[in-house]
Amino acid sequence: MDLRDHFQLTGNALKNWIVAQLQDSLAVGLLWMIGLFIIGVPWAPLWALLAATLQFIPHIGPVLGLIGPALAATLRWGDWEHPLAVLVLYAIIVMIDGFLLQPYLMKRAAKVPMWASILTPLVLGILIPFWGVLLSAPLLAVVYAYRARAASQ
């Protein structure tokens, strides 16, 4: 395998990862839109689009996507129930995304097993706190692309 083959294999693996990430962001944005409409938060499409865009930033992005809807709910109703409903919605979306969507999409697009896409960010997050979590998904895509290539030869 020459250098060109390595670049091509790595590039295809990263392309598959970015496709999975785009699909995940779209799904998270849709979940936010539905949930915010149900709660009745003003400007739900804007907050859903912002949450989908921020989904690309591991750990920090989803939290930043929560701030706008929580503030909008607080300013709109002035009570604690509606912002609490937004926080509950956030928790539900994070659990669905972390345990179902991301592992499924990584398995489908990048051929990464679900157990690896759940376990690897945890392990790398402990070993290399910020960078381990940030790089775990694209690294998994590349590792499993090389593994599939080795198995086919």
Domain-embedded: residue 3: no
What is the pLDDT, as a whole number, of residue 147?
Answer: 93
List the domain range (segments joined by +) for residue 49: 8-152
pLDDT in tens, 9-59: 999 999 999 999 999 999 999 999 999 999 999 999 999 999 999 998 877
How high is the mean pLDDT of the chain?
93
74: pLDDT strictly greater than 90? yes
Domain count, the chain: 1
Does 138 fall in a domain? yes
- Tell me the per-residue pLDDT of 102-121, one tens digit each, with 9 for 90 and over: 989 988 888 888 899 889 98
Q: Among 6-15, 83-92, 130-139, which is the least confidently predicted range?
A: 130-139
Q: Which residue has the tokens 């376990």?
A: 119
Tell whether 123 is covered by a domain.
Answer: yes
Distance in angstroms between the alpha carbons of the first and the last residue of the chain: 11
pLDDT at residue number 134: 87
Residue 133 predicted with pLDDT over 90 = no
8 A C-beta contact, residue 12 and residue 35: no
Neighbours of 106 (CB within 10 A): 27
Joined tokens for residue 145: 């692309």
Q: Is the pLDDT of residue 144 over 90?
A: yes
Establish if 72 belongs to a structural domain: yes
pLDDT exceeds 90 at position 130: no
Nearest to 75 by CA among 108, 110, 47: 47
Residue 2, domain member (yes or no)? no
Can you tell me the mean pLDDT for 116-128?
91
Q: Assess contact for 111 and 144: CB atoms under 8 A.
A: yes
Q: What is the pLDDT of residue 153?
A: 82
> Which 8-state DSSP code applies to residue 74?
H
Domain membership flag for residue 109: yes
Which tokens belong to 90? 């956030």
In a domain, 107, yes or no: yes
Nearest Cα residue to 46 out of 21, 22, 71: 71
Q: What values do phi and psi take at 79, rounded to 5?
A: -120, -175
pLDDT higher than 90, residue 90: yes
Confirm whether 92 is domain-assigned.
Answer: yes
pLDDT at 111: 85
